Structures are given as structure tokens and as C-alpha cells.
Amino acid sequence: MCLPVVTCQYVPLVDYPSHLARVYIEAHYDEVPAYQQNFVRTNELLPNLAVDLIGRFLLHFMGIITFSRVFLGLTVLLFALGCHMLSSAIRGRRTMVAILCAYLVYNSMLLYGFVNYVFGLGMFCVTLACFLRYRQEWTPWRLLLVGALVFLSYFAHETAYAYIGASFFIVGTLEYRATRRWNRLLPGLCLLVPEALYYFAHRHHNLASGIAWGSLRQKAIGMIVFATTYSARFDVVFLFLLLVILALAFRLSKKRYALDPVLAAGVFFLACFVLAPYQWMGGSPVDSRFVVPGLLLVILSVDWSIPRPYAGALFTACLLLFSCRVGAIWRIWHASDDEIRRQVEMLDRLPEGAAVYTAFLTADSGAPLSKIDRALQHVSEYATITRHAFIPTQLAKVGQETLLFRNQPRYKAPMLKSSDWITSMHEYEFVWSYAFPDSFEQILAANCSLVATAGKGKLWRVLAPHVLHETQATAPQS
């Protein structure tokens, strides 16, 4: 499971290059004048710091590519460890199902590059496992350990803290109703208080950003975040075979029973997926982030009694199916790795500290890209690392990142029905375009001079106003 993330030099996760660039800037901020000129560090303690905290430490001992492999490898291993610990805590024994659950780490949130969220999922599993194991007999050291895990989970990503809080409350409440013992409920709730107080004392998010509910299509896609890859055809085949295996398991099982408190928490998360908006507090997709923790708790809390020969065959079939899915993702990553390497080498031709307009088509551009090409949206931000370039698409939102633009750049993404982006482009020295159709490329050719080409990407120099005027004046009249 670690092979895809450690064998690729540039893993094509959509937002991931922006996270790497931010961490690199934070680690070398005092050494590079261009970083100090363009960015300001806030040093806020935000609930979204997994890669930042680890990166600030490790980047003093290794390069950015090695750090990327180490961090993503740790993310996969942490989630696998969490699945094992959570399965053992729920069922009281080691189970092979934990191995299959570990494959949920390759969900679409990871493909989007939401690495802090995925790292937080691993922290959630480990923290909840310790809570379930210790809840019947608390000691000061156990309270300290679980409290420290809650603390680390909160700063890894806020969703991890939300999952932990909901699970502690649901499991504790149901067990209190069954036993009438307050030690099943109060210790867990007390462990959540410090982070809750800190959160409400520091308003990190812009709540005025609005709430938007997803369409039925977006809900349907969000429901299968554990199955999606880069090919819709492969996803359909994968889901069909998985349903066949589940149907066989249901038919062959002699009895099924569920561990109610944990199952209730899993069902609650799945209900949150149905009811939650698609966009909230400046982030999206919000609703589909409940699917993986919900499925994980439901799967681990339901125990099916299947005769051993059949159980072994079904486990092997699931293992092969999930491995094929990871292999399909790895194959695309390997090809994209070569493409990203070509883009990075081309961007190395930029002068030190250049300002680069990212000409990348979004879903609203009128000519959207394929899912594979869309994974390269933030590739130009590797130039921030190698050439100390200024890239306006760097993720630097107030309340979400600890690195902000010193002066907010004026940037408009390319749009087919609007010319605002052309005016925005002329505020920069260079343009990096990727997979541009002819209609957009003609505009670039009229406003820029081509510097280099690599794969589907091109590097352009923006013509100065007087040069642009002279070029237009000498152009042949049609």
C-alpha cells in the first residue's frame, strides 16, 4: 500500500503541491528574501496543521521530495495502524477485516490532495481505539494519553476532532444508558473540553462564505469516495464486483451481530453525509468527508459468522479487488509522475523570483479538463520551491493556512466567456498553461511569446504593453 506514494517522485494529488510549497516556504522563510517579500507567517495554531508541523521539523534534515515520500508513507501507515487498533478495540481480538479497511486510505479525498484530512483520519482511528480500550477503567496515565491524542488530532485536522467528539459522545451516552455509570460518559467528554474552548475563543473560519448543498449527482459521487479512481469504467466494475462479494458473504453467513454503540456512531456519520452541505466555511466537499469514517465504524462493528473456507476465499477476493484498485491508481500516478517532472524541469527555466500566472482550466472555464489532467492544477507551485517564484494560486486562505500573501494577488482563472483573466494575466511576467484548447491558446499567442514546451504544458513570457502594441500594429490585416 505504501509503494505508490514512495516510488513516485511527484505524486499527482491535486492540492498537494501547494501544501508542499507552503511547508517549504515556512521552513526556509528566514533564508529567502523573496518569501519574506511575498508572504507573511501568522504562526496561528489552526486545526489544519498535520503536514505543516511535520514538515517544519523534517525539512531541516531532508529535501522536499524525500519529505513528501516520508509524509505520505506515514499517512498510509498511520491509517493502517489505526484500523488494526480500532478493530482490536471493538471486537476484542485481531481481525483480518482490518487489513481490508486499511485500503480506505486511498479515497478520493487523498486524490484531491487533502492530506491533512487523511492524516487526521488515522489519528481519529488511533484515538478512538484507545478510548474504547480504556473506557471501562480509567487511570491518570490513560486519561493523559487519550487527552494528548485528542490534542494532536485537533491540530492535525478539525474533522478528526469532530469525529472523535461525536464518537465519544455517542458511545458514552449509549453505555451510560445501559449501565447508569457516569465513568462511561464524563471522562470522554471532559477530554474534549480544552480544544472546544480554544476553537470558540479563536474564530478561524469565515462563516460568511456561505453554505451550498450538493446536487443529486454530487451526492451520488460523494457516496462512493472509497471506490473512485481516474476511470469511470473501472469504478463501475469495481463496485459491481464488490457488491457480488458482499452478497455472497451475506448468503454464506450463519449469523450476524453488531456492537451497538460503535455501530450507532458509524450510522450517525453516514446520516451526516446525507444531511450535510456540499460547501461550508470555505471548504468542499464537506458531506463526503463523513463517508469513510462512517463506513469504517459500520464495517468493524458488524461481525459475520462465515465458515472458514468460504471466509478465506471471500477475504482473498476482496484483497485482490482492493489491490487492483490501488494498482490502477498507481499506474496513473506513474504516468503523471513523468509528466509533472517535465513541467518542473521546464519551470526551472524561470528567472529567480519570477511572477507566474497559472493558466489552468477550472470546471467553470467552459472547457473543463479530464480528471487526470485536473490533478496537475497546482504543479506550477513547485516553481515556488525551486525558483522562489510567486504563484497566485498558492493556497493561502485566512483561517485555514498559517502562510498568507503579504498583498493579496489579483488573479482571475481563464474563462471562455470572460476577458477579465487576460487583464489579470498582464500583471505577471510569465504564464504557465496546461492542456489549453486552441481557443485559449490563440489568446495566449496574441499576448505572450512562447518560451518552452513540455508535454501538455507551455511556458510563455507576457509581452510588455508597448511590445504588444507594436506586435499588433505590424500584424498583417485580414
Counted residue by residue, the chain has a size of: 478
pTM for the predicted model, two decimal places: 0.93
Residue 197 covered by a domain? yes
Q: Which domain holds residue 301?
A: 44-306
Local structure of 421: helix, strand or coil: helix
Alpha-carbon distance 397 to 393, whole Å? 11
Alpha-carbon distance 441 to 444, whole Å? 5
Alpha-carbon distance 158 to 286, whole Å? 12
Q: Does residue 194 share a domain with residue 72?
A: yes
**What is the predicted pLDDT for the residue at 362?**
78
pLDDT in tens, 398-433: 888 899 999 999 999 888 777 889 999 999 999 999
Residue 16 covered by a domain? no
Residue 75 covered by a domain? yes
Strand 403-405 relative to strand 448-454, pairing:
unpaired
Residue 166 covered by a domain? yes
Query: Are the CB atoms for 187 and 132 separated by under 8 Å?
Result: no
Q: Does residue 361 share a domain with residue 250?
A: no
Out of 241, 275, 306, pick the residue that ends a domain.
306
**What is the predicted pLDDT for the residue at 91?**
87
Cell numbers placing 138 = 480509567
Residue 370: DSSP 8-state: P
Q: Does residue 389 share a domain with residue 288?
A: no
Query: Are the CB atoms for 79 and 157 separated by under 8 Å?
Result: no
Alpha-carbon distance 182 to 313, whole Å? 44
Mean per-residue pLDDT, 326-340: 96
Residue 68 covered by a domain? yes
Which residues, in sequence order, are bridge partners of residue 255? 305
Out of 249, 281, 306, pick the residue that ends a domain.
306
Residue 466 covered by a domain? yes
Residue whose C-alpha cell reads 528567472 in the numeric block? 351
Number of domains, the chain: 2
**What is the predicted pLDDT for the residue at 367?**
67
Q: Does residue 268 share a domain with residue 364?
A: no
Per the model's pLDDT, the better-predicted residue between 362 and 220 turns out to be 220
Q: Does residue 355 share a domain with residue 299?
A: no
Q: Does residue 359 share a domain with residue 297?
A: no
Q: Is 434 left (phi over 0), alpha (psi -120 to 50) or beta?
A: beta
Mean pLDDT of the residues in the chain:
90
pLDDT in tens, 337-390: 999 999 999 999 999 999 999 998 877 666 677 889 999 999 999 999 999 999
Residue 217 covered by a domain? yes
Q: Does residue 376 share a domain with residue 301?
A: no
Question: Which range has highest mean pLDDT (63-72, 189-198, 205-214, 251-260)?
Answer: 63-72
Q: Does residue 173 share a domain with residue 84?
A: yes
Residue 208 in this model has a pLDDT that exceeds 60: no
474 pLDDT band, cuts 50/70/90, is very low
Residue 478 in this model has a pLDDT that exceeds 50: no
Could you tell me what percent of the chain has a pLDDT over 70? Answer: 93
Q: Does residue 382 share a domain with residue 301?
A: no
Range list of β-strands (E), 224-381? 255-258, 302-305, 356-359
Q: Does residue 125 share a domain with residue 208?
A: yes
Q: Does residue 271 share a domain with residue 391?
A: no
Q: Does residue 157 share a domain with residue 99?
A: yes
Count of C-beta atoms within a 10 Å radius of residue 54:
18
Out of 306, 324, 341, pick the residue that ends a domain.
306
Residue 17 covered by a domain? no
